Structure 1
Amino acid sequence: MSTKQKTYLSKTVEQLKPSGIRRFFELASTMDNVISLGVGEPDFVTPWNVIEASYHALEQGYTAYTANAGMIELREEVSRYLKSNYEVEYNPENELIVTVGASEAIDLALRAIINPGDEVIVVEPSFVAYSPIVSLAGGFPVPVQTDSKDAFKLQPEQIEKTITSKTKAIILCNPNNPTGTVLGKEELIKIASVVEKYDLIVLSDEIYAELTYDEEFTSFPSIKRMKERTILISGFSKAFAMTGWRLGYAAGPKEIIQAMIKIHQYTIMSAPTMAQHAAIEALTNGERSVREMKKSYRQRRNFVVHSFHEMGLSCHIPGGAFYVFPSISETGLTSEEFAEQLLRKEKVAVVPGNVFGKSGEGYIRCSYATSMKQLEEAMKRIARFVSEFKK
């Protein structure tokens, strides 16, 4: 009789690696006086007018389910917002869905389009959830490694070299997490030509779209002939400082959005009602708050990049989001060695670049979504740590 213990777990789930980010923050949580530059979360509190809108909704008795796709009033506001800010128009009746964060929108989109064995191109360094979600949907994530010499910008020829007869889609994150790299209009047009040539679907994660600092942001579906083959993902967590509200949305072709709603109605039902009321307020009266937060992030970005350069670590200037991605190769340490030793010796938590893909090895991700006081102290500690390897 076999002594091997029977497992009831899915093989796909068993093979998934735990998030490389969480390991460091579980370690950091056991230590005192740690400065965290790791979690991608604004340090700002949700603007008061947005919080007040949710209070008002609760007082008015709005505590029941909404439509599966989300409140029509919110979908209309999202449609207006996208047209006004990014020159792309969606029908709120059937081309938009409100989700529990942008993460659910990504999950729904991939499950809606992937057949078993389909390949999905993942541009690395990438958000840690993309590849696992592709796998959970029955597909195969195929990484494309970007390079620091190109400021981590995807090159069209890289896509072509990766495409096979099984390639179904490509995931773009613009601005990028973890590098902060922003793809401009002309760069997106070149990528679009490859997408059209090979009849690909694009999942365009634009959750950081409002947080671009040096150029006007271009939404991928606004590129000619891309709207009909793009699923736009966004939400309220980053720009509106609403991470804990768990509210996102997806916009795209009617057929795909309706398929996403079908999955959503069986798994989630609807996004939180009071959060949807708050989001309407954020979209209609939140521009000033976003502008103020963006101004602060830009100042912090400039300070952190300058600090790394002063330490002798190369670091490209990120055009968006709230991360820097400096090279730590000068120290001779791997990304994980650097992050772990920095945490233990100087009590600064950063994310090792290799958790974002192979091209992230030799780098660390630092979030500057924390106060200047904390950033100033963190930079002093990192500089002291780095100096040990230059003696």
Structure 2
Amino acid sequence: MSNSLPELHLVAAARPNLPKLAALWHALAARPGLCRPLLLHTGQHHDPAMFGTHLADLGLPQPDHALGIAGGGGHAAVTGRTMMACAGFWSAWRPAMVVVAGDVDGSLAAALAARKLGIPVAHLEAGLRCGDRDMPEEINRRAIDAVSDLLWAPDEATAARLLADGHAPGAVRAVGNAMIDTLLARLPAARARPLPEGLVPEEYGVVTLHRAANVDHPAVLARLLSALGVAAAALPLVWPMHPRTAKRLQEAGLALPRGVRVLPPLGYLDFLGLLARARLVATDSGGVQEEATALDLPCLTLRPSTERPVTLEAGSNRLVPPDRLAESVAAVLAGHWPAARPIPLWDGRAGARMVAHLAETLAPHLREVA
């Protein structure tokens, strides 16, 4: 790939960014004459369990640049440190465009730093809204959309919302779901991974919980643990636990209920293999809601709202309050759960659609270097 091509910096801050960026990375690799993509790691997730193994699992290279901005200190501290580091880096090494994914603090910081330097920004997974303006992720996604030049939405309804908000038609593109590109490409390898010892396919459920609203308040977390314990009496549950959640459990002095087994954080392929052979998943993760829908896996979302309403419409996902969790598990085990309906554009071609939109946008740069 020629170094005279315009540079595209793909910003990876936290682990959930990587499967989304992987779809774009591999689509760009299939079109080598368009631009020179570089992977920039801010450092929000930096340990091997939370980041390193994902790169190999997703076929991504080691980051071209690592800013070393560790998490900790609260949302404002992470955002501020990352914004300053990105601004310093891009003042010396200016790309044609910056791509940020999702709604983590590092993505917001990178988007703000780029735009204040006059560098165009593309938001991968634009337009999602859950309606809870106090949720940190909701604040981030709204702010990123506000400053982005290209907005890649996962479905037509989300793209229509962005247009209704006043974004220019040429800036908005319904490209599909990048997470699903990666899932479809990696699913055979994930299914080939061995399950943790003692687990039998279709005879366990998966739990993931990490949202502040669920794990930062001891009383709320205790209620969730109690609900998981009741549900685990009907179906054993395995919980690949986020380090942040483990810390909150320890701080609150809370014990896991019987029937709930904790696993360490898993790499992408190991987690996808675990999810693909489960009977159900109980989660507060947006990405897991999407993955479960693609896998036709019953998803019990332990939140009052979701920024992925398309998964509710597909029938695979339901919003479940903790006191209804055992009832919902029983409904799944009794077969009272519909098959997921296909979602348009979730077809494994989101990366190609993003690249097509980039080709239109980068055309002036290509003429300049021709």
When normalised by structure 2's length, the TM-score is 0.34
When normalised by structure 1's length, the TM-score is 0.32
Greater RCO (CA < 8 Å, at least 6 residues apart):
1
Choose 1 or 2 for highest CA Rg: 1
